[in-house]
Amino acid sequence: MRIIIGLGNPTREYQATRHNIGFDTITRLSDEYNIPLDFKKHKAICGRGYLGGEKVILAQPQTYMNLSGESVRELVDFYKVTNEDIIVIYDDVALDVGQLRIRPKGSAGGHNGIKSIIAHLGTQEFPRIRIGVGEKPKNWDLADYVLGRFADEEQPVIREALGRAAQACECIITDGIEEAMNRYNRK
């Protein structure tokens, strides 16, 4: 079993913001793989289904970004999976809009949601997919930038990136993280 966790903030005001790209990827996986997000448990909206022939739980933590680790810890404990059996999807301002970066482990890199997960799991070793949301403009506040929405001209790039992130999840499950890195970590 795998648990795929997309990070974001709950409530309507945060929908479709740069910071909610993880939620958007979970919604894309739900749509493409017919996995309804139909129950709330472990401080998350979840769905059960199959991806790449393996049972998966899709999860959108409802704790707000900075407390994401609470939900992830509950999911890992309840389903008795290892840290290697989760995939965390989140935004990254250090990557160009739509660029993917898949890694088996790593630091938080300043991302508060990942800091929370590392603190609750006690390790940096868990697979993740970072989706580029672009560098913040000079003189902008980082929070204002990531809580803002994508420009119209960025929308096609983001839609394509969501599709590639969904495919990357399936690749991680079927072919392993190394193959997914080789296939999707390109500009």
Active site residues: 19
Sheet holding 2-6, edge to edge: 39-41, 44-51, 54-61, 2-6, 86-92, 128-132, 100-103
Tokens of 56: 């998966």
CB contact at 8 A, 26 and 89:
yes
- Residue 86's nearest CA partner among 67, 62, 61 is 61
- Residue 101's nearest CA partner among 6, 2, 187 is 187
CB contact at 8 A, 28 and 165:
yes
Residues 6+ apart with CB under 8 A from 89: 4, 5, 6, 7, 21, 22, 25, 26, 128, 129, 130, 131, 165, 169
Is residue 137 classed as helix, strand or coil in its secondary structure?
coil
